[in-house]
Amino acid sequence: MKVSVSHRGPRFYGVLAAGLAGLIVMLSLFSSFVDGWDRTDAGEIAVVRHGGWFGDRNIRNVIDPSSSLRWTGMWGIVHKYPAQQRFYTITSDANRGDRAGVDVVETPSSDGVQMGIEGTFYFSLNLDHKVISDFDNKFGTRTFTGADGKAHHAYDGDQGWSDFLDQIIRPVIDNDLREQIGDFRCADLVSSCALVQNNPNGQNPNGQNTGGTGPAGANNSNIAKIQDAINQSLEADLKSTLGDDFLVNVRFNLVRITLPASVQDAVNKAQAAYAQVSEAQAHVAQAQADAAANAARQKGYEACPACAQIDIMKAIPPNVTTFAPGAGFAVTPGTPTAKP
């Protein structure tokens, strides 16, 4: 008995391969079509670039905050940046700063004391379409290495944005702080600094005041001057460094100025020593007052001997039944006369 076997020819397999390839292409096109729509939340703005294997990488359009679904193109590339006010914190509190651990700007005063500066930098990203497009061209096309050693783009969420601020913005802030702090003496900014400097009274050898130990109000005024000067120069310095007004509404709040640990320790010791001196002076003043009172009392007794005896009687403790201050004289409560 002869069995006939049906063989599929090359044409069948060619059609099958073409069908599978067409299906893959259709699925890819469908997926790209679905992914070609995007929108922004209230706190972000998006720069859209062309994508695809054969497309260029030029900017297609910009999507404003809180948008509805927008067509970004098949294989479009979307870079999202923060659109709300942002801030960058410099602080000794390891749990609050934008850098890991303790983060304080160390800079010397005019008299060489290394001082720690803490504050917060507030700003907003310029949302003008042309400006944000230029920003993406300049900073969105490169990466920034973070504290974790990994490279991120500025649009890679909070981590990427923080890395951008740390590498590009932070040096400008540090430079402005150094320039402004360098115009003041340590005691102009921190009153207690005068306790451990060579001229604690703020006077030169001729007795003239050098202005180095002003009251706390003067220190606060100087800190306000530094803050105002930084706010006047920072925005211009950022524009010069970045190349355009990419950041707007720039403001820096100087929160605190601290002394190095060694200087602060010396201040604490000096304050403790001054406290001991004040305590000793109080004891001296009390002793002088007591001596003056005793001298005045003695003069009164000399003028009135009986008054002395009366005060002696008043000073007898209530638990004493017989008082004998001298030979042949004794006083017993309840006894009207003294007995020899």
pLDDT at 102: 52
DSSP 2: P
pLDDT at 205: 36
Determine the residue type at 53: W
Tell me the pLDDT of the chain (340 aa) as tens digits.
554 545 566 776 676 677 777 767 666 655 555 567 888 999 999 999 988 777 788 999 999 999 988 888 777 889 999 999 999 988 876 555 556 555 788 888 888 888 888 999 999 999 999 999 999 999 999 999 988 889 999 999 999 999 999 999 999 999 999 998 888 888 888 776 766 555 444 443 334 444 444 555 677 788 888 899 899 899 899 999 999 999 999 999 988 888 766 565 665 665 555 555 555 666 667 767 767 777 777 777 677 777 766 666 666 677 666 555 555 555 565 555 444 4
Both 35 and 148 in one domain: the answer is: no
pLDDT at 122: 94
**Residue 91's CATH number:** 3.30.479.30
Answer whether 249's CB lies under 8 Å from 122's CB: yes
**DSSP track, 116-149:** EEEEEEEEEE---HHHHHHHHHHHTTSEEE-TTS
Both 236 and 313 in one domain: the answer is: no
Phi, psi of 156 (to 5 degrees): -85, 60
Dihedral sign computed on CA atoms, order 223, 224, 230, 233: negative
Determine the residue type at 3: V
Both 218 and 171 in one domain: the answer is: yes
Both 77 and 118 in one domain: the answer is: no
Query: How far apart are alpha carbons 277 and 247 in whole angstroms?
Result: 54
Residue 141 Cα to chain centre, angstroms: 31
pLDDT at 149: 87
| 121 lies in some domain | yes
| 315 lies in some domain | yes
| 336 lies in some domain | no
Query: How far apart are alpha carbons 260 and 106 in whole angstroms?
Result: 9
End-to-end distance of the chain based on CA atoms, in angstroms?
Answer: 166
- Picking from 40, 55, 82, the residue at the C-terminal end of a domain is 82
Number of domains in the chain: 3
Both 153 and 59 in one domain: the answer is: no
pLDDT at 272: 59
Both 254 and 311 in one domain: the answer is: no
> Using CA atoms in the order 223, 225, 228, 229, what is the torsion angle rounded to 10 degrees?
-110
Both 90 and 182 in one domain: the answer is: yes
pLDDT at 201: 47
- Picking from 259, 294, 321, the residue at the C-terminal end of a domain is 259
pLDDT at 297: 73
Q: How far is CA 103 from CA 115, 167, 186, 218, 320, in A?
A: 13, 14, 20, 27, 71
| 6 lies in some domain | no
Both 218 and 293 in one domain: the answer is: no
| Domain span at 103 | 86-259
| 12 lies in some domain | no
| 340 lies in some domain | no
